[in-house]
Structure 1
Amino acid sequence: MAALFIDPGALRTELSLQSVTTTGDGFGGFSEEWNELATVFGHIEPLAADSRFGAGQTLETVTHRITLRHRPDVTSGMRFSRQNRVFEIVTVHDPDETGRFLVCRVRETGA
């Protein structure tokens, strides 16, 4: 098996790791509040772009791969943010199972 090479020097994009807290509104609905857990540094790679038209509007979706140093608290359902961009974490895995890095597949959705 070939060794996986990830350049630690490429992990230089500052990202905010966020988790969601939901609060019931008393009428069966809820509100979401995103809280910053940590500032991390990673590498963002675009993978694919998709454009869908429906209900009189176009929805653009871009998927990315974000690589960062290993953290045990990163899970799907969280998100990264950078300036005005939001990346929803879809999957998280340790690419070589050494506990050095995490690779997250994320979805960036724009209007």
Structure 2
Amino acid sequence: MKPKPIIAAGIVLLLALAMATAFARQRGRSDEGGHILALDNSWNRALETKDTKALDLLLADTFVSVDIDGSMETKRQFLASIKAPDYHPSQAVTEHSTVEVYGDSAVVAGVFRSKGVDK
């Protein structure tokens, strides 16, 4: 009976296809994660340079900023605080970042540190 090698070859082919599909999905997630981290870095550069036009493009209209003291600002309030002449940022960095992609959404977790003067 020679069908056994054909069945075995079919199973190997199916496993190879399944592995290739899983690898492609993982690579796609990795590429998406890289793009998300690039956007996060763009956000940091925009903060450092007070580029509110870039921030306006990066942030959703429903954006809400929650500060270290628990106070909240809408997108409009946040952008106004960045434009304020009293605010002088010198550095904005996100450290130890990880990205999790969930369909058409992504979550970045990390430690955000900023330095500057806010009179």
Same fold (TM over 0.5): no
Instruction: Give the number of the structure whose residues are more often helix, by fraction.
Output: 2
Instruction: Give the number of the structure whose residues are more often strand, by fraction.
Output: 1
How does the TM-score come out when normalised to structure 1? Answer: 0.28
Q: Which has the larger radius of gyration?
A: 2
